[in-house]
Amino acid sequence: TYVIALPCVDVKDRACVDECPVDCIYEGERMLYIHPDECVDCGACEPVCPVEAIYYEDDVPDEWRDYTVANAEFFAEIGSPGGAAKVGVYDFDHSLVAALPPQTH
């Protein structure tokens, strides 16, 4: 799977959403999350993010390793909706993200 990391927080450019052929990039309050079971590893999202927040799971920088877990755990209670467009924006974030101070970029 691919993973969205810290640079997305409080940016949410959403260019990645338009590229994903399976609509598996879901929006939380402060960042977006890739569903690890729905992502088909097409990689189309990675180059379009203007803040380079997206990485293949094996390439996530060490400092952002926690985001691999956070992307997966975000869906613990959501499950697998099978498409982000129909569920809209969730009004919460993973605890790792919710605890961050406002990010300025």
Query: What does the per-residue mask of binding to ligand F3S show for 13-52, with x meaning CB under 6 A?
Result: xxxx--xx-x-xx------x-x----xxxxxxx---x-x-
Q: For residue 8, state whether it binds ligand F3S (rule: CB under 6 A).
A: yes
DSSP state of 38: T
DSSP output for 42-88: ---SGGG-TT--EEEGGG--GGGTHHHHHHHHTTTTT---S-STTT-
57 binds ligand F3S (CB under 6 A): no
- Asked if residue 97 binds ligand F3S (CB under 6 A), the reply is no
Q: Is 2 in the site for ligand F3S (CB under 6 A)?
A: yes
Q: In the bound complex, what is the minimum distance in angstroms from residue 42's beta carbon to ligand F3S?
A: 4
Within 8 A by CB and 6+ apart from 12, the residues are 27, 30, 31, 32
Amino acid code (one letter) for 75: F
Task: Provide the binding-site residues for ligand F3S, judged by CB under 6 A.
Answer: 2, 4, 8, 11-16, 19-20, 22, 24-25, 32, 34, 39-45, 49, 51, 53-54
